[in-house]
Amino acid sequence: MARVLSRDPVDIENILALNPRKQIHATLHSTAAKKQVKKQWKRNSDKSCSNCEKLENNFDDIKHTTLSERGALREAMRCLKCADAPCQKSCPTNLDIKSFITSITNKNYYGAAKLILSDNPLGLTCGMVCPTSDLCVGGCNLYATEEGPINIGGLQQFATEVFKAMNIPQIRNPSLPPLEDMPEAYHVKIALLGAGPASLSCASFLARLGYSNITIFEKQEYAGGLSTSEIPQFRLPYDVVNFEAELMKDLGVKIIFSKGLAMHGMTLRTLKEDGYEAVFIGIGLPEPNRDIIFQGLRMDQGFYTSKDFLPLVAMASKPGMCACHSPLPSIHGTVIVLGAGDTAFDCATSALRCGARRVFVVFRKGFTNIRAVPEEMELAKEEKCEFLPFLSPRKVVLRGGQIVAMEFVRTEQDNEGNWKEDEDQVVRLKADVVISAFGSVLSDNKVREAMTPIKFNRWGLPEVDLETMQTSEPWVFAGGDIGGLANTTVESVNDGKQASWYMHRYIQSLHGIAVSTVPELPLFYTPIDLVDISVEMAGLKFPNPFGLASATPTTSSSMIRRAFEAGWGFAVTKTFSLDKDIVTNVSPRIVRGITSGPMYGPGQGSFLNIELISEKTAAYWCKSIAELKADFPNHILIASIMCSYSREDWTELSKMAEVAGADALELNLSCPHGMGERGMGLACGQDPELVRNICRWVRQAVQIPFFAKLTPNVTDIVNIAMAAQEGGADGVTATNTVSGLMGLKADSTPWPAVGGGLRTTYGGVSGNAIRPIALRAVSAIARALPGFPILATGGIDSAESGLQFLHSGASVLQVCSAIQNQDFTVIDDYCTGLRALLYLKSIEELEDWNGQSPATMRHQKGKPVPRIADLIGKKLPSFGPYLEQRKKIIAENKLKLKEQSIAAALPEKKHFFPKKPIPAIKQLNSLPVPVAGLNSSPSLFSTLLLRRVGQHSSNQKKHSRSLRLQRCNLGQNLPSRM
């Protein structure tokens, strides 16, 4: 039987049977059947704990906030990029959150990390452990939406982790003199006590300021303080803490381990005698707050404080933390954790990983009074920890010298809000282990004596000025837990940051040097920031290749001034004309596109405008040009001009702009709406002969470079570019907006619609939606006219997209829609992003990266997925009964690994450095994009076809050119579509 060609083979038909089908009947399945079927497809955990996942020795990442690149990009795009961002105001270190999220959106992960680490040297640690729901996320304006607030911590973690993988060192502020040329005041001896977050932060900023003799004394054998010893590996790996300490050491800071306050005779007095001019105390609160009922109890009896338990867990689970290899605390049976702070929940989840069968978190007050952040509590809840509120410990019950139970009394709150204990309500809980997490104190008298002569407050802590972080001794500063105000890692980091500036002021005052009263802490720098991205084109030197297009961002000269202050390399004025051609704009005239769907706020994929040229006079623009060039001589300012097809008009206007001081001209021969009806703009730019003549007129009139701005609304833009070159243009701008109609409402009303008659016109579409068109135009011109300067525009919204245009043959880049989406500050992201892309091209170890994107790992919820095939020799899906099998296999493997030694030390740090020359921008556009197909090598058929229609086409062009010339000459009398 002959095969039916309109049917696929049977095996393909069987696969296609899974495709959706049009439903013609309501479906019918019994509830009993559905209860069974759903179990085959579940991906989340079952509510029942009869088969709870075993967590013993499993220290894999458990944070909800962890993101993959895909997740980070989607999350970053939701951000509103608020102008007066409340998230930044809620961050103790005042991170510029909306800017680093912008960088992530633009896939500039180095730029994001640079912004983060500039204000927070422990940015990766804080991205992982910050209680964001109580800080930045708590202030997010999207809290009021259905989607909820932005996952700021996850985005911060993602960006800094990518930078960590780049393995690039921190360098001193490039504006500082060499170390040997620094003033004497910068060589003084500075001591920091304790290597916790406050000290690491303080030392980092002091080193960035230029100080070269900074020493941290740490009594333990590892850096990081509580971040290392008390925050579990599954929340904060040790290599993260080590990474941040190494960044600090890149600046010359020294850490001396096994030496601290009250050890080996070290006191504040001995430090003074040894020549230290300033000291920062960041030793934390080293002793546990131990309730009287626990006096005399030992670990071998089953009692731990958090200060005992968490360091033991850390040393056994954190590779590289110390040279020792100690086993996890042996915990079995039921564990009671006392306390309601973050540390208590860390103890509870860690106890499960040490072998506990059940964990109860017991606290004196109710759920509404829990001090821990919701993230911590939720993780403990997911891991089946039980919570028991309103209980106050009364007695530990021992049998045979071992803990077997605890007795509690019930607590209640009276009408005045006071908490009272009801001795009549007694609760007895069986337990094998008790962990007390009631906070920390400074109770070691030797340490207190070593801090003489500073004064202490009523809580037994040093008296500290909360603004300057100075103690009663002007040369001694303190911060972090011992300062009495910081409750979190990020607040400790900020204490160190705050202290660094006032330590700087104090040291400089000792040497008679005045320091600004306004803090001026240096930013974070790496070799990437030294990459040269300046451009020379048509005899002009551009500081960077990014400039403002002649559009809404250059509506006024004050806007151009703000752009130059922000760092833009050049600007093209809004197109202006002679007074006889002045226009009046309509409103509304700029609307968001619909190409991105129902998405509002920044990140619009397109805009449509029916805006005309500038309403301001030529005299205004000429005076503005003179003012701007006087104040910004190193920035390139290009005057955009437009006239009808008149030699006298073009000559007059171009000379006016040249006399005013413009560096170059841009001839607007491409405005797609409104101006064409006047015989200007696109009406001239669609005909090669008219373009050639206009360029010749301007070439004869001025000496400065000029560029013809081309319209994409033509059959072949290359012909127009060739005509401009033949006319003497120094280059072209490609391209202007694409003529289009954005959409109609259901009642057929167009949008935008103007006036009572709701009239419209075909407007100009801009933004990312036209990038493929603009890229095609730039690459085609570059191939046809090698070396001819091209100012690219059309959908450039990041360094990555800008690099695409540079690879396609562009010389410099013009931006408009991206600024409409946000603000002028995006230039910083573009410059750091481009520098990073160029620098990373020269690092051989990162050759498998795509720009700033590392190779994508197998992951779920941003976390690596274990390769089950490596453990059992076959693959298993991640749903239903297979998921349970996977969990069981992983748990068994973790137990096998428990007896194996973890690495005693982290691999030696070796930074990646360029092994190839860092490419210059001019090298990027020297090789236009290779194009296959008819455009590069016409087939025989296409050649014959072109010959057949050639004569007809020639006649059509002559007729069309005649019509355009008539329209340009009579354009002033033609009506607008408006």
- Given a contact cutoff of 8 angstroms between Cβ atoms, the answer to whether 773 and 735 are in contact is yes
Task: Give me the residues paired with residue 765 across strands.
Answer: 608, 738
Three-class SS state of 745: coil
Burial class (CB in 10 A: 0-12, 13-18, 19+), 825: middle
Tokens standing for residue 146? 């259905």
Residue 831 to residue 534: CA distance in whole angstroms: 10
Name the residue with tokens 């962890």: 66
- Identify the burial level of 435 via C-beta atoms within 10 angstroms of its C-beta, where 0-12 means exposed, 13-18 middle and 19 or more buried: buried
Distance CA 827, CA 809 (A): 21
Pick from 675, 626, 667: which is nearest to 649 by CA?
Answer: 667
What is the spatial distance between Cα 10 and Cα 1, in angstroms, rounded to a whole number? 15
Residue 49 annotated in active site: no
Query: What is the identity of the amino acid at 25?
Result: H
> Which residues, in sequence order, are CB contacts of 635 under 8 Å at separation 6+?
543, 564, 568, 569, 570, 571, 628
Contact 823, 604 (CB under 8 A): no
Contacts of 935 (CB under 8 A, 6+ apart): 780
Q: Which of 93, 792, 907 is nearest to 500 (CA)?
A: 93
How is the beta sheet containing 391-399 ordered, strand by strand? 391-399, 402-413, 419-430
Any bridge partners for residue 813, and if so which? 546, 792
**With contact defined as beta carbons under 8 Å apart, do 462 and 454 qualify?**
yes
Token readout for 737 is 């907006």
- C-alpha distances in Å from residue 423, one per residue of 116, 292, 404, 710: 52, 18, 21, 87
- Choice among 347, 354, 622, 671 that is catalytic: 671
SS (H, E, C) 510-523: HCCCCCCCCCCCCC
Cα–Cα distance measured from residue 98 to residue 216, given in angstroms and rounded to the nearest whole number? 34
Nearest-angstrom CA–CA distance, 45 and 47? 6
How many Å from the N-terminal Cα to the C-terminal Cα in the chain? 66
Cα separation of 103 and 798, whole Å? 8
947 in helix, strand or coil?
Answer: helix
Buried/exposed 731-757: b ≥16 CB within 10 Å, e otherwise: bbbbbbbbbbebeeeeeeebbbebeee
Give the total residue count for the chain: 978
Rounded to an integer, what is the distance from CA 372 to the centroid of its chain?
Answer: 27
Residue with tokens 């910081």: 486
Residue among 289, 290, 215, 228 at smallest CA distance from 259: 215
SS3 content of the chain, % helix, strand, coil (to 5): 40, 15, 45
Cβ contacts of residue 43 below 8 Å, gap of 6+? 878, 879, 883
Report the C-alpha dihedral over residues 830, 836, 837, 840, rounded to 10 degrees.
180
The answer to whether the beta carbons of residues 856 and 862 sit under 8 Å apart is: no
Alpha carbon distance 114, 839 (integer Å)? 15
Is the distance from CB of 326 to CB of 315 less than 8 angstroms? Answer: yes
CA distance 722 to 710: 11
Quote the DSSP letter at residue 462. B
The token pair at 568 is 């833009």
Residues assigned a catalytic role: 671
